[in-house]
Amino acid sequence: MLAVLDPYFQFATKAMAREATYRFEVFTSIGSLAVRVYLMRVVWVALYAHNAAPHGIPLHTIITYSAVALLMGLILDIDQTSLLHDKLHDGSIVVDFMKPISVPLYLFADGTGEVLFHAALIIPSLALALLIVHIDVPSLPVLGAFALSFFLAYFVGFFLNLIQNCIAFWTLEISAVQLIMTWVTDLLGGQIVPLLFFPAAVQNAIFALPFAAMFSTPLMIYTGQISPAGYTQAMALQVFWIVALGLIATVIWRAGARRVVVQGG
Amino acid sequence: MNESSLGVVSLPRNPDLFRREGTGSKRTADAPGGFAAPGNRSLMPIIQTRALRKTFRSVVRGEGLAGAVGALFSRRYEEKVAVENVNISIEEGEVVGYIGPNGAGKSTTIKMLTGILVPTSGTIEVAGIVPHEKRRQNARNIGVVFGQRSQLYWDLPLRESFELLRAIYRVPRDRYRANLAHFVEILDLDRFMATPVRQLSLGERMRGDFAAALLHDPKIVYLDEPTIGLDVVAKEAIRAFIADINKRLGTTVILTTHDLADVERLCRRIVLIDAGTVIYDGKLERLRDEYGTHRTLIVHLKDPQPDFALPGVEIEHSEPPTVMLKFDRRTTTAEALIRRVTERYAITDVAIVEPEIEDIVRRIYLEGYQKPPARAVET
């Protein structure tokens, strides 16, 4: 069993090593995060100075929410990897199909390797963010639930990313799709503002979409907007989305791979 | 010369393996290499295709911007035949040159053999497996080198690419170490094992790619233009390497190339493909014998003779005091021709130019392969 998975562990390890070779990227991503945390604080402070706290969410909670959301963004980036798109674009996908590997599992391993490297960046980024803002820390059980929900969110993000990349099987080009998806997940996923801030009717529509399962669910657990009684339901919905998106991704992948196989890349 | 003995060309390691499946229409029509198969068929060839056909559907697009925009809305498709009725049978241990002009269908065939393209019709078997049905199982039996595409991991040092391939193909560690040590030595990889692949020169990268393709001891290797863009020294190193693995391990090699020097150095058998169809399958020597019937005699005359002429002799080129005479070696000998020239003119020097395989193939590309009339169709 382990021997079967060994190549995929290697893919993940090599992806981490690869990310580490771009030192400039590492420093800029930490730096840009600090800038965004600072700007986010400026915006919220200004907004709260002239308005009543919406939905009774105090300023320190909203700042915590946004800071944690930005840190999560290091890992949960819908645009994190475009490996599949790149390979389809330059035709090198053919080389992967000539190897005795499962290509989707390879993409998952590679993407996860990248993410694990970025996860390591959270520590210095967090340290830097704490110089700028105060972040509330919830109790240990809540942190545990948050971690679990975050873990589930990763799979939601992975499948959304894979589906988005699969479009390149047909179009070869996905930059417009990527742009839209990034905006949609940031906004409808609850990374920019809590979804509670949207009008009720819009909220219903948003919660019927998978994006909320990425940022909103773990963040609402973290900030206590979802109480421990609601954990099961919230995470069950995340699992539902993982299964649903997984199935959609499988169907699209198969159709796309057949297209490569029929057209020869 | 015995015609039927020319029919089968292979390099079996053991003469008893000298078996070949018969095939259909190709044999007498346009593949003089044919598959004459005397004796029993006790062993399967390692690669066998029958009536292989592949068509692609492509969008027909009008001209210019209007056409491009029009194609966004209404689509007309046309079927393009990439490969048509290809019957190839290759024995274990053969080195076969698969050559043809651009777009002839070489890469399409190779992709079908590797299992990433599904044939439109016809059958393929590679080492007992139908490649597109068991892509991953087939992948373990083959190694592939593309001259224009690397399978090495761009950002990683060469050594780490090899490590990754070891895991992918599950090469046992001791076997891996032994193979790697050997490749490092004969391909001289030592100097750049720790260098990221993106910093390697083309020659270095190709050597790395060869090692990568062979780490798992594949039974068959497909080499798609492996020497393209390399300098003379690097080309020779690659050729020596291919010859070595074939000789030492009995690896079956299918080589597509535009550099016919590769073919002359490595292959006894060539398969010529043009417009998707195999037009020749047989010994390289025989192609030269059959097709390269014309020789050129270069004569340096003592004095310029602007009106140089010999009845019945074609003058290929004239640049006084030098004339180039074309002759058919089946009807005239060089000696007789020289004698005729010296009877009329005073000469200082002569030279005979043998047809280059390159010229022969170029001629076939241009004119199509015709079975030379002087030779009877084998029966």
Look at residue A257 in the predicted model and tell me its pLDDT: 85
pTM tops 0.80: no
Q: Does the residue B218 lie in any domain?
A: yes
Residues B45 and B157 in one domain: yes
Closest Cβ opposite residue B114 in set A3, A92, A98: A98
The percent of chain B in helix, strand and coil, each rounded to the nearest 5, is 35, 25, 35
* Coil, strand or helix at B151: coil
Range of the domain at B332: 293-354
Together in a domain, B99 and B224: yes
Instruction: Tokens 């640049």: give the residue.
Output: B319
Choose among B107, B144, B164: nearest Cβ to A14. B164
Chain B positions touching A101 (Cβ under 8 A) are 136, 168
Mean pLDDT value across residues B229-235: 87
User: How confident is the model over A43-58, as a mean pLDDT?
Assistant: 85
Q: In whole angstroms, what separates CA B312 from the centre of its chain?
A: 37
Is residue B368 included in any domain, yes or no? no
pLDDT level of residue B374 (50, 70, 90 thresholds): very low
Mean pLDDT for A185-190 is 89
> Is some CB atom of chain A closer than 8 A to the CB atom of B139?
yes
For residues B197 and B72, the model is more confident at B197
The reply to whether residue A14 touches residue B196, judged by beta carbons under 8 angstroms, is no
Would you state the pLDDT for residue B369? 67
Q: How confident is the model at residue A262 (pLDDT cuts 50, 70, 90)?
A: low
Distance CA A116, CA A80 (A): 12
pLDDT of residue A32 exceeding 60, the answer is yes
Confidence category of residue B309, pLDDT binned at 50, 70, 90:
confident
For residues A98-114, average pLDDT: 92
Predicted confidence (pLDDT) per residue in B287-306, tens digit: 877 777 788 888 888 887 77
| pLDDT level of residue B319 (50, 70, 90 thresholds) | confident
Q: Does B206 fall in a domain?
A: yes
Q: Is A23 exposed, middle or buried (0-12, 13-18, 19+ CB in 10 A)?
A: exposed
Chains A–B, number of C-beta pairs less than 8 Å apart: 71
Residues of chain A in contact with residue B170, where contact means CB-CB under 8 angstroms, are 3, 6-7
Res A212 pLDDT > 50: yes
Higher pLDDT, B18 or A69: A69
Tell me the pLDDT tens digit for each residue of A6-29: 899 999 998 888 888 777 877 888
B311 pLDDT higher than 80: no
Q: Do B172 and B131 meet the contact criterion of CB atoms below 8 Å apart?
A: no
The answer to whether A101 contacts B136, with C-beta atoms less than 8 Å apart, is yes
Same domain, B305 and B273: no
In a domain? residue B170: yes
Tell whether the model's pLDDT for residue A57 goes beyond 60. yes
Residue-wise pLDDT tens digits, B159-204: 999 999 999 999 999 999 999 999 999 899 999 999 999 999 998 9
Is the per-residue pLDDT at B31 higher than 50?
no
Torsion of Cα atoms, B90 then B95 then B100 then B103, to 10°: 70
Cα radius of gyration rounded to whole Å, chain A: 19
Residues B121 and B188 grouped into a single domain: yes
Same domain, B309 and B211: no
Is A6's CB within 8 Å of B111's CB? no
pLDDT given for residue B371 in this prediction:
59
pLDDT at A54: 78
Share of chain B above pLDDT 70, in %: 84
Residues B202 and B331 in one domain: no
Q: Read off the pLDDT of each residue in A97-118 and give the average, rounded to a whole number.
A: 91
Of A10, A18, A97, the CB nearest to B167: A10
Res. A1 pLDDT band, cuts 50 70 90: low
In a domain, B372, yes or no: no
Task: Please indicate, yes or no, whether residues B109 and B153 belong to a single structural domain of this protein.
Answer: yes
* Residues A135-160: b if buried by 16+ CB within 10 A, e if exposed: beeeeeebeebbeebbebbbbbbbbb
* Better-predicted residue by pLDDT, B200 or A31: B200
Dihedral, CA of residue B142, residue B147, residue B152 and residue B157, to nearest 10: 140
Q: Are B209 and B163 in the same domain?
A: yes
Among B272, B288, B304, the domain-final residue is B288
- Residue by residue, DSSP assigns B123-134 as EEEETTB-TTTS
For chain B, the average pLDDT equals 81
What value of ipTM does the predicted structure carry?
0.79
Closest approach of A156 to chain B, Cα-based (Å): 27
B62 and B161 share one domain: yes
Domain assignment present for B139: yes
Least confident of A135-144, A154-163, B99-108, B128-137: B99-108
Regarding predicted confidence, which is higher, B206 or B259?
A: B206
Record: contact A100-B137, CB cut-off 8 A: yes
Per-residue b/e over A184-220, b at no fewer than 16 CB within 10 Å? ebbbbbbbbbbbeebeeeeeeebbeebbbbbbbbbbb
The CATH code of the domain that includes B100 is 3.40.50.300
pLDDT (0 to 100) of residue B47: 95
Contact assignment for B160 to A17 by CB distance below 8 Å: yes
**What is the domain-level CATH number for residue B304?**
3.30.70
Among chain A, residues having any CB pair with chain B shorter than 8 Å are: 3, 6-7, 9-11, 14, 17-18, 21, 91-92, 94-95, 97-102, 260-265
* Cα A257 to Cα A93, B79, B331, distances in angstroms: 10, 21, 58
pLDDT for the residue numbered A91:
82
The per-residue pLDDT of chain A, averaged, comes to 89
B31, B154: one domain: yes
B153/chain A closest Cα distance in angstroms: 9
pLDDT value of position B335: 86
Which of the two residues, A80 and B257, has the higher pLDDT score? B257
Residue B346 has pLDDT above 60, yes or no: yes
Same domain, B297 and B179: no
| pLDDT exceeds 50 at position B339 | yes
Q: Is B379 among the domain residues? A: no
User: How does pLDDT run across A160-175, given as a tens digit for each residue?
Assistant: 999 999 998 888 888 8
Indicate whether B308 belongs to any domain.
yes
User: Helices (DSSP H) in chain A: which residue ranges?
Assistant: 2-20, 23-50, 59-72, 83-90, 93-97, 103-120, 122-132, 140-166, 168-171, 175-188, 200-207, 216-222, 231-263
Could you tell me the residue ranges of all domains in chain A? 2-263
Q: How many domains does chain B have?
A: 2
Residues of B within 8 A of A257 (CB-CB) are none
Q: What is the DSSP string of B266-300?
A: H-SEEEEEETTEEEEEEEHHHHHHHH--EEEEEEE
Provide the pLDDT for residue B88: 94
